[in-house]
Amino acid sequence: MQLIRKKRDGGVLSDEEIRAFIAGITNDSIPDYQTAAMLMAIFWRGLSDAELATWADAMTRSGDVMDLSAITRAKVDKHSTGGVGDKISIPLAPAVAACGVAVPMVSGRGLGHTGGTLDKLESIPGFRVDLSGERFAQLVDELGVCLIGQTERLAPADKRLYALRDVTGTVESLPLIASSIMSKKLAEGIDGLVIDCKVGRGAFMKTIENARALCALMRAIGTRAGKRITCVLTDMDTPIGRTIGNALEIRESIEVLRGGGPVDTRELTQVLGGEMLVLGGVAKDADEGRAKIEKALADGSALEVFRKVVAAQGGDPRVCDSPGSVLPKAKARTEVTLPPGRITAIDSELLGMAGVVLGAGRRTKEDTIDPSAGLVVDAYLGEVIEPGAAPQIWIHHSFAPGDGKLAEARAMIERSFVIDPNAAATPVRTSRILEVIR
């Protein structure tokens, strides 16, 4: 109680006080109501740089810290703050591994309008993300990459805090977001980290100023821990690529691994991968790194790494050659044709929530995912929809034609597009990259 008062009144917590508090959260000696009170005090009063570094370090050390020192290659991971259609980890990780940098990737599940890498991977029949720490390290060493979920012993304090933040109105606290992300990543035993910080309508960070502030905190935590951190601010005003939904996004990821796929999905894979290669010491600068990633996608080496990963983690490797014959298919497909005019805005968050209604995402952690559900979107910002044009959106679902959820999702999709029949052509951003902070 004394520590809560101290932070509530603007005091600075000592290292010993912070570590004792995090230890109490981990061993259940501090009840949830006191933890919730501390979270609210931090929400209002913040944490100093020194407090934040200690808070994040205590969370990192609340459980096991993976020892990957036996792996001789540099170990670099990527973290995304979450977006709509964000399947980038799936082509990115094997491409980076194909270029000589190990990627020990611990990912999360989707919640709300943002999708989760684990859910996408599990749409591949048999694919397991619940591997032991020993098997994880073995595959990172042998294949250069492994993709799993957070284990029970990886930053367990974060699990308690994350659940309480969600129900106490403290999710938006930048110090709490930064320490949550970095504690899990630092527990992976990595040498460096590239952070894809999404900005815009479909992101948690709505403004570039907030994104920069969050990145500054994460970089400060990483620097104090002796890790190399690069932040890439990317545009999330519109969905990434053409697909929203788990199996659909796997198909698009494989297109990228074959050297194709939508331009923006390829760009993000190449840019983020290039920065990872720089941190891993196999590229002298971002341009060289990007060129190496582009080559790995074009020559099939990235796809071959992914094939081995799928097989090693229990999945059907035929997905790399014939995804349509392996991945689950929706029972029905409904077409949507937008009204004539120029698309002047797209609400990607609303599109993401339409995917949740269809079963492609979760409102709560207990919700069940339909891996086949989602959207294929062939409508882009600035594009003109001509009268009588073919459908622009295909809804993949398992509902009967008159189902209320299908009608609800369709209405959300139609509201997601702002279309002006009289709008003149205006310049449209051709790159998703807003800023790189090294």
- Give dist(CA 100, CA 102) in Å, integer: 7
Query: Are 389 and 337 a contacting pair, CB within 8 Å?
Result: yes
| H or E stretch at 192 | strand 192-199
Q: Is the dihedral of CA 172, 178, 181, 184 positive or negative?
A: negative
- Give dist(CA 401, CA 289) in Å, integer: 48
Q: Is 158 a catalytic residue?
A: yes
Which of 160, 165, 266, 308 is labelled catalytic?
Answer: 165
Site of tokens 């001509």:
386
CA angle, residues 250, 254, 257, in degrees to nearest 5? 140
Q: Is 180 a catalytic residue?
A: yes
Q: Is 79 a catalytic residue?
A: yes
Residue 372, sorted as left (phi over 0), alpha (psi -120 to 50) or beta, turns out to be alpha
Q: Is 87 a catalytic residue?
A: no
- Give dist(CA 34, CA 200) in Å, integer: 34
Which of 79, 342, 396, 410 is labelled catalytic?
Answer: 79
Which of 89, 107, 180, 416 is labelled catalytic?
Answer: 180
Alpha helix segments (H runs only) across 225-300: 246-257, 263-279, 286-298
| H or E stretch at 195 | strand 192-199
Query: Are 256 and 91 a contacting pair, CB within 8 Å?
Result: yes
Which of 158, 235, 264, 347 is labelled catalytic?
Answer: 158
Give CA 205 to chain center in angstroms: 13
- Provide, for the chain, the percentages of residues in helix, strand and coil under a 3-state DSSP scheme, each rounded to the nearest 5: 45, 15, 40
Which of 75, 78, 184, 242 is labelled catalytic?
Answer: 184
Contacts of residue 304, defined as CB under 8 A and 6 or more positions apart, other chains included, come to 98
Q: Residue 147 in 3-state DSSP? A: strand
- Active-site positions? 79, 158, 165, 180, 184
